[in-house]
Amino acid sequence: MNTEKRLFKGKLKQYSLLIALVIIIAFFQIVTGGLLLKPMNVSNVVFQNAYVVILAIGMLLCILTGGNIDLSVGSVVALVSAAAGQMIIVWKWNVYFSIGICLLLGIMVGIWQGFWIAYVRIPAFIVTLSGQLVFRGCTLLLLNGMTLAPFPNDYLMFSTGFIAKEAKVDILGMNMNIVCLITGIVIALVFCILQIVNNATRRRKGYEAESSLSLAVKLVLISAVLIWFFALLAQYQGIPTVLVILGVLLVVYTFITTKTVAGRHLYALGGNEKAARLSGVKTNRLFFLAYVNMGFLAAVTGLVFAARLNSASPVAGGNFELDAIGACFIGGASAYGGVGTIGGTLIGALIMGMLNNGMSILGLSSNLQQVVKGLVLLGAVAMDVISKMNLEILPRRKKVVAEPQKG
Amino acid sequence: MGNTLLKMQNITKEFPGVKALDQVNIEVEEGEIHAICGENGAGKSTLMNVLSGIYPYGSYEGDIIFNGKECRFHTIKDSEHQGIVIIHQELALVPYLSIAENMFLGNEQAENGVVNWDLTYQKCSEYMKMVGLHENPHTLVKDIGMGKQQLAEIAKALAKDVKLLILDEPTSSLNENDAKNLLDLLLEFKKNRGITSILISHKLNELSYCADKITIIRDGHTIETLEKGKDEISEARIIKGMVGREMTSRFPPREHHIGDVALEVKNWTVYHPLYADRKVVDNACLTIHQGEVVGIAGLIGAGRTELAMSIFGKAYGAHITGELFLDGKKVEIHTISQAITDGLAYVTEDRKGNGLIVADSIKHNITLARTEFISKNGILDKDLELHKAKEIREKLNVKTPTVEQLVGNLSGGNQQKVLVGKWIFAQPNVLLLDEPTRGIDVGAKYEIYQIINNLVAQGKAVLMISSELPELLGMCDRIYVMNESHIIAELDGKDASQERIMEYIMQDSKGEIGA
């Protein structure tokens, strides 16, 4: 096999998830008669999936440490929203102060679980299974089995609000939110400029750089998708606040996993813990931090979710852990650790989200939806495992670009 | 003798882009020990995989004739039915099963699916006796040493009624004593049971010790077959056949410029991390100078690895006491990252288990121990990383088209170079090399020796642990001998000989028993 073909195959695998997502979107767009990508529905999809993505980011870091999952996140979400409800609705505390306390609560939960997992070395599965029971129990105790509602408006803004909702203008015959549209264009521009500058610096320093043509194609495609997405949102109410939170988290965590020493160490820990330790990586601390971080993000999710439900319910967050874990594995994370990306996880979550949304529009029963989602999860991981199997059996040279870039 | 047991004719095996075997011919007579040698990547393992059915019939060209019949194996089971048993370099025993359970794994002594345990253990004892393995068959495999595990594998093969036993580098993880026992066992099998063996080995002295014939493979071709008695069998000739050139010396020459003391260890005592009263290193004292290669000889289990790892930021052991001096200054090193910043490097004996992240790229592996060299304020400079990794690749001659390549896809010798490169990148002053040439071929070994020479030429101090005495003798300025957690002797490189080192060890062991 020649080099170009090999490279093409590698790229294909790298983008296979994205292609799968596009196919799913196209399929539902057709069978729902165009309902899927209606501005209102796109906005809805953002609201519906934000919490899964936030949880999945944290879950990915745990999985990277060596395939360790966190089964307690659903309960932590419930506990944090209950705490928020108690403080804001019952005690009428200041909203910002309460949010701070809630985030701290999440971190405390993370410290508790991380301690047992990283320093006492009890398998994460067991510690977090215990956490699932303990924190759900705490929630029930705190709420006494009742639901608290409603939250004041200034709290709801964080999750269900839109940015500059009123700034609507007529453009090209459509009533659009100008702030949203401009934001989209600015983000696309900034992204392009960063990429171009980056590539130019590389070329100047004599490092390997991408060819101008492939870079141009990539940038045009990504910009088009970004602007189109924001244009859709603009036709409805504008940018959902939660999208801002999500966007910031995605950027920050992508940066951490790909560009920082801590991120590199995380991948090393999952790839071979003993080797990482003998290379001076503080493995226990890293392990611990991954779970503290998970607690923090679970708290963020709890706050977002409480606002979306506009209530603190004792049953909130049921099965959230499964959605988050599913998103990571569909997104290409390895069940053994050391492999997986934030981008992949986002796509994994979107695949699940689109399936949910599309099937709901079609009016399929939720029972059937579960069956489909379960099969998709198995199918995605099976594809990954099988494609690796082929490469493993074949000789060395073939696998040059087989793994998605990471670290 | 004289009957041809196995004939492999014109075997060609192609992988996309590579011809791993090209018209290979080999003939093995009944009752002989036939050695196959060649550099890593020459095609030895591929050939054995073709023979044992791991690469099924149809995926290669050529014929296999075993016992006069043409064979078309589709799975390992097929070849095992014919009495061909292969024992891989990495042993395939299940650690948490007993010796007996392992021995009859897949070959259970059962009636209608119900295992007859009495028969299993009785038969196991018989086979263990044949190979000289004196253990309780109920013992878990994880609790016996590598040498005994190897014997258990061979007993397992016997239990399968083996006609042709294939051993892939059986002695690579054994010490000299266990290795000799193993080879003697093969000789005994040949004499008393008529079992034919194929022995794949890098260790040339072993080949001349027990092989009747030696087939040399290079780059997927059979180069020649030497016969004991007919052809002159010498290391020089075999090496020439393997690498395709004369190697006048197995060890590159080095100029000695020995400087000040770089590392000194005084009264170093280390306890086992689990068994609190077991000393694994007892009151050890040693010094290494700048520009010096110091060896540690000793049997496996003597405490050599434990000594090196405990020096390296207490990476092993409990209740470590003693003093450590770097460049004459007393230091307290409690963590591995501190050891690395203080200029120590430990190159592990277990490159896949403890050394490298095989599913990650070469460049990430190289920079892992010193990410601060390629980052600022915790943020990585990936372009710099790529550049540095390429430098190391050039310097150490790692044979790979790109440093993005996954380490797991490299040959053993190249993996070892990446491992050494990782620690050179860390810019240490003292390198603790633990079995730096284990399981790699002659050519790659030579390159590793050259790397070591370059390091000491730059004034670095090197401690080298090795189970291959010729290697220590060839490379070291001084040699410490370790036995049963003690350093029992210190020899000058010039005065040392294999006999003297073994003598020290034997005498010391005897003393223990006597006392």
- Asked if B335 and A277 come within 8 Å (Cβ–Cβ), the reply is no
* Residues of chain A found within 8 Å of residue B372, distances taken between Cβ atoms: 261
Average pLDDT (B44-63) is: 87
> Across the interface, which of B340, B364, B386 has its CB nearest the CB of A264?
B364
ipTM: 0.82
Q: Which of A4-13, A323-332, A397-406 has the lowest mean pLDDT?
A: A397-406
pLDDT at B448 over 60: yes
User: What does the pLDDT read at residue B388?
Assistant: 93
pLDDT at B181 over 90: no
CA-nearest residue of chain B to A281?
Answer: B337
Residue-wise pLDDT for B390-436, tens only, equals: 999 998 888 888 898 889 888 888 899 999 999 999 999 999 999 99
Percent over 70 (pLDDT), chain A = 91
Residue-wise pLDDT for A176-208, tens only, equals: 888 899 999 999 999 999 999 988 888 887 777
> Across the interface, which of B354, B380, B406 has its CB nearest the CB of A274?
B354
Instruction: Kindly state whether B274 is in contact with chain A, defined as any CB-CB distance less than 8 angstroms.
Output: no
Q: Which of A307-316, A323-332, B494-503 has the lowest mean pLDDT?
A: B494-503
Domain limits, chain A: 3-165+282-399
Q: Say which CATH topology domain B261-357+408-514 has.
A: Rossmann fold (3.40.50)
* Residues of chain A found within 8 Å of residue B378, distances taken between Cβ atoms: 260-262
User: What does the pLDDT read at residue A78?
Assistant: 96
Strand partners, B287: B264
Q: What is the dihedral angle through the alpha carbons of A379, A382, A388, A391, rounded to the nearest 10 degrees?
A: -80
C-beta separation of B370 from B425 below 8 A: yes
Asked if the bond preceding A314 is cis, omega within 30° of 0, the reply is: no
* Residues of chain B found within 8 Å of residue A274, distances taken between Cβ atoms: 353-354
Residue among A262, A266, A244 nearest A54 (CA): A244
C-beta separation of B15 from A395 below 8 A: yes
Q: What CATH number should be reported for the domain whose range is B4-243?
A: 3.40.50.300
CA-nearest residue of chain A to B363?
Answer: A407
- What's the CA gap between A246 and A303, in Å, rounded? 13
* Residues of chain B found within 8 Å of residue A281, distances taken between Cβ atoms: 337, 368
Min Cα–Cα distance to chain A from B425, Å? 12
- Mean pLDDT of chain B, nearest integer: 87
Task: Report DSSP letters for A359-387, one per residue.
Answer: HHHHT--HHHHHHHHHHHHHHHHHHHHHH
- Chain A residues in contact with chain B using a Cβ-Cβ cutoff of 8 Å: 1, 202, 205, 207-208, 259-265, 267-268, 271-272, 274-282, 338-339, 394-403, 407
pLDDT at A230 over 60: yes
Between B42 and A280, the higher pLDDT residue = A280
User: What does the pLDDT read at residue B339?
Assistant: 95
Find where tokens 């874990």 sit.
Answer: A325
Find where tokens 């996140």 sit.
Answer: A73
Average pLDDT (A99-112) is: 97
**CB < 8 Å from A in window 357-376 of B:** 357-360, 364, 368-369, 371-372, 375
* Residues of chain A found within 8 Å of residue B406, distances taken between Cβ atoms: 399, 402-403
Min Cα–Cα distance to chain A from B375, Å? 7
Every domain range in chain B assigned CATH 3.40.50.300: 4-243, 261-357+408-514
User: Taking CA B369 as the corner, what is the angle to CA B363 and CA B372, rounded to the nearest 5 degrees?
Assistant: 90
- Asked if A403 and B359 come within 8 Å (Cβ–Cβ), the reply is yes
* Residues of chain B found within 8 Å of residue A272, distances taken between Cβ atoms: 353-354, 356-358
Residue-wise pLDDT for A156-174, tens only, equals: 887 788 888 777 888 777 7
pLDDT at A119 over 50: yes
Residue among B261, B260, B263 nearest B284 (CA): B263
Test mutation, A384, A389, A396, A405, chain B, max B CBs within 10 A? A396
Average pLDDT (A347-372) is: 91
> Across the interface, which of A207, A275, A401 has its CB nearest the CB of B356?
A275
Min Cα–Cα distance to chain A from B354, Å? 4
